[in-house]
Amino acid sequence: MNFAASPVLALTLPTWRSRLLLYVFIGCFAVLLGRAVYLQGLNNDFLQAKGESRYSRVIEIPANRGRVLDRNGEALAISTPVKSIWAIPGEVHPSERQLARLGALLEMSPREIEKRLSDTGRDFVFLKRQIPPEVAERVAGLHIPGLFQNREYRRYYPSGEVTAHVLGFTGVDDIGQEGVELAFQDRLAGKPGSRRVIKDRLGQTVEDVESIKDAQDGHDLPLALDARIQNLAFTQLKVAVAQHRAKAGGVVVVDVDTGELLALANFPTYNPNNRNKLAGAQLRNRALTDTFEPGSTLKPFTVALALEGGRVRPDSVIQIAPGSLSIGASTIHDAHFERSLTVAQVIQKSSNVGAAKIALALSAESMWEMFRDVGFGAAPGLGFPGEAAGRLRPYRSWRPIEQATMSYGHGISVSLVQLARSYSVFARDGGLVPLSMLRVDIPPPGRRVMAPRTAGAVRAMLEMAVNRSGTAPRAQIMGYRVAGKTGTAHKQENGIYAADKYVSSFVGFAPASHPRLVIAVMIDEPSAGRYYGGTVAAPVFAQVMAGALRVLDVPPDAPMQPIELPPEGEEVKESV
């Protein structure tokens, strides 16, 4: 071929153009080489991270929640290992047979599972949480790609409904929701750890690479609660609520020396291990969160204040006739007609007229200070959620009729825990210690509220209230001297007192010679025909106190002879 004959083929290109092209290619290779050196030699973190993201995972290692123990080391709340099943929506496509089998294992309908797996707007979705490990193994045996499992813990409460209101419960994330579980969440909860692992394309762990942070388990929590006394209190309360067809009830047991709560029982209750049908009313720890007018259980404080100020002596005579006292447009009545009573008999017979006359001889400020000193009007300070402070109005707003009715527990509201603590003043010779839900190894110092002589005089009066001539003979215990006081009060509804609804209570301590326990009992709205505290609440006190003293091996301080109780059909009335 003659190239010279063709003008196009005969064209000669400049030499610099070929050289420029060569330099461009060399420059491109140099840039690529430099980039490769930079990424693979000097800064390979990015590529390494991208690579590891295909197979490396950091998984959380859950911490074991601390146990809740009673004062003797018996486990009241423990954590058991469980599994949770989860998936990434849109990436799991089980066959119909696998779906049906999965639904049966998780106790879910196939349609519900499909609905959750089709929710592509979420990064992941839980199919079922807190399932037993053996069920999780059977789920893994289905070999459904894209289905994952996490290890978790589930709380279990061996005592069930007996300690439900004390312990509360945790949610699915093992965080306290009620009771001790919520109040001491920081102490019980551990700190989760983490580990780096290698997973295959199915999400299964094939290699454990390293530990990043060790899990720190929560601390065990030793309560002051005695499981034996708690069970006794709950059993007797449940029987009493059923027997008197009551709306609710509570029992509180306090150690006189340490202020420890050895038992706190409520009814109705619930099973914290199965909360599927749990109602709000069942959750209320009534002994701590509910308040009521304590009725005649407050009379001993009015008398103690008068004794302390030298206004009266135990044998001072109070004129009661004609059995009523008018103050302005209101009239106070007694259940029994008496012409006159000594101060001691005012407590023994539970005279409203006598208590009101004593109160009106005192200043409103001094009464208010006495009530505040024994803990009324302030939360008990146990750290429980919803602790009630009760209602104690400023003394400057008291009218004479209000000062008179407060002397026998009307116009003031307290919780059952507050009432139990207040009576420890008489049991401790005038001293008061803070309450504790946790076990106390060294008893705290007490705070002086009244003189030992005053407390001793009132204690003797409270013993009289429990004998055959008092309002609470059914509170007696064979082998032990008992001191205590009944309370019966109308319930308030819509700002007025309901004529046929009552709160029956009894609070006392034993042995009276050297008190060890204070027990307070409250029965709400007994409707079986009887409602006086001496008939409804005092027998519960006697049963719980007798059993608790035996459990604690407290020596008797009275002859071991049968107790003389009123006939079964006889009801000892008291002023309401």
CATH number at 64 reads 3.90.1310.10
Instruction: Report percent pLDDT > 90 for the chain.
Output: 58
* Domain-located, residue 49: no
Same domain, residue pair 392 and 253: yes
Q: 78-112 pLDDT, tens per residue?
A: 988 888 888 877 777 788 888 888 888 888 888 88
Same domain, residue pair 393 and 533: yes
Say what the pLDDT of residue 570 is.
74
CATH number at 469 reads 3.40.710.10
Same domain, residue pair 480 and 414: yes
The runs of H, that is alpha helices, within 244-308 are: 280-283, 286-289, 299-308
Say what the pLDDT of residue 37 is.
76
Among 222, 240, 261, give the residue marking a domain's end. Answer: 222
Same domain, residue pair 203 and 263: no
Q: Check: CB of residue 140 under 8 Å from CB of residue 149.
A: yes
* Domain-located, residue 279: no
Residue range 301-318: average pLDDT?
96
Is pLDDT of 34 > 90?
A: no
* Domain-located, residue 567: no
Same domain, residue pair 245 and 127: no
Same domain, residue pair 407 and 536: yes
Q: Distance (Å, rounded) from C-alpha 67 to C-alpha 573? A: 47
* Domain-located, residue 52: no
Q: Check: CB of residue 234 under 8 Å from CB of residue 203.
A: no
Say what the pLDDT of residue 386 is.
86
Q: Which of 176-185, 209-218, 422-431, 478-487 has the lowest mean pLDDT?
A: 209-218
Could you identify the residue written with the tokens 């006392």? 508
Same domain, residue pair 238 and 206: no
> Which is higher by pLDDT, 58 or 208?
58
Say what the pLDDT of residue 350 is.
94
Residue range 524-540: average pLDDT?
94
Tokens encoding 76: 């009241």
Q: 511 preceded by cis ω (within 30°)?
A: yes
Task: Give the pLDDT band of residue 198 (cuts 50, 70, 90).
Answer: low
Q: Which of 55-69, 242-256, 262-276 has the lowest mean pLDDT?
A: 55-69
Q: 322 preceded by cis ω (within 30°)?
A: yes
Is pLDDT of 206 > 60?
A: no
Q: What is the pTM of this model?
A: 0.84
Same domain, residue pair 235 and 109: no
Q: 81 preceded by cis ω (within 30°)?
A: no
Same domain, residue pair 434 and 542: yes
Is pLDDT of 60 > 80?
A: no
Task: Give the pLDDT band of residue 368 (cuts 50, 70, 90).
Answer: very high
Q: Distance (Å, rounded) from C-alpha 455 to C-alpha 483? A: 12
Say what the pLDDT of residue 296 is.
95
Is pLDDT of 223 > 80?
A: yes
Is pLDDT of 41 > 90?
A: no
Beta strands in 66-219 (DSSP E): 68-69, 75-87, 125-131, 147-156, 193-199, 205-213
Residue range 308-332: average pLDDT?
93
In angstroms, the Cα distances linking 521 to 379, 422, 541, 553 are 19, 14, 6, 22
- Amino acid type, 479: G
**Most confidently predicted of 92-101, 215-224, 512-521:** 512-521
Say what the pLDDT of residue 151 is.
80
> Which is higher by pLDDT, 396 or 4?
396
Q: Distance (Å, rounded) from C-alpha 376 to C-alpha 382? A: 14
Instruction: Report percent pLDDT > 70 for the chain.
Output: 90
Same domain, residue pair 292 and 184: no
Residue range 447-471: average pLDDT?
95
Q: Distance (Å, rounded) from C-alpha 295 to C-alpha 93? A: 68
Q: Which of 82-96, 205-219, 491-505 has the lowest mean pLDDT?
A: 205-219
Is pLDDT of 161 > 90?
A: yes
* Domain-located, residue 4: no
* Domain-located, residue 5: no
Neighbours of 562 (CB within 10 A): 7
Say what the pLDDT of residue 42 is.
67
- List, as own/partner pairs, every contact residues 269-277 make where C-beta atoms lie below 8 angstroms and the sequence separation is at least 24, other chains included: 269/161, 269/162, 269/164, 269/165, 269/234, 270/161, 270/164, 271/160, 271/161, 271/164, 272/155, 272/157, 272/160, 272/161, 272/164, 272/167, 272/168, 272/169, 273/156, 273/157, 273/160, 275/169
* Domain-located, residue 24: no
Say what the pLDDT of residue 517 is.
98
**Most confidently predicted of 29-33, 87-91, 462-466:** 462-466
- Catalytic residue ranges: 296
Split into its structural domains, the chain has a count of 2
Q: Which of 298-307, 347-356, 378-387 has the lowest mean pLDDT?
A: 378-387
Q: What is the mean pLDDT of the chain?
A: 88
> Which is higher by pLDDT, 129 or 208?
129
Same domain, residue pair 399 and 456: yes
Q: 370-390 pLDDT, tens per residue?
A: 999 999 999 999 988 889 999
**Most confidently predicted of 61-65, 107-111, 555-559:** 555-559
Same domain, residue pair 153 and 300: no
- SS3 for 436? strand
Say what the pLDDT of residue 8 is.
55
Neighbours of 151 (CB within 10 A): 14
Say what the pLDDT of residue 30 is.
85
* Domain-located, residue 569: no
**Domain residue limits at 242:** 227-271+285-551
Torsions phi, psi for 317 (to 5 deg): -95, 130
Q: Distance (Å, rounded) from C-alpha 345 to C-alpha 116? A: 73
Tokens encoding 468: 């055959």
Q: 396-440 pLDDT, tens per residue?
A: 999 999 999 999 999 999 999 999 999 999 999 999 999 999 999
Residues 6+ apart with CB under 8 A from 247: 524, 525, 527
CA angle, 88 then 91 then 96, to 5°? 110
Torsions phi, psi for 19 (to 5 deg): -70, -40
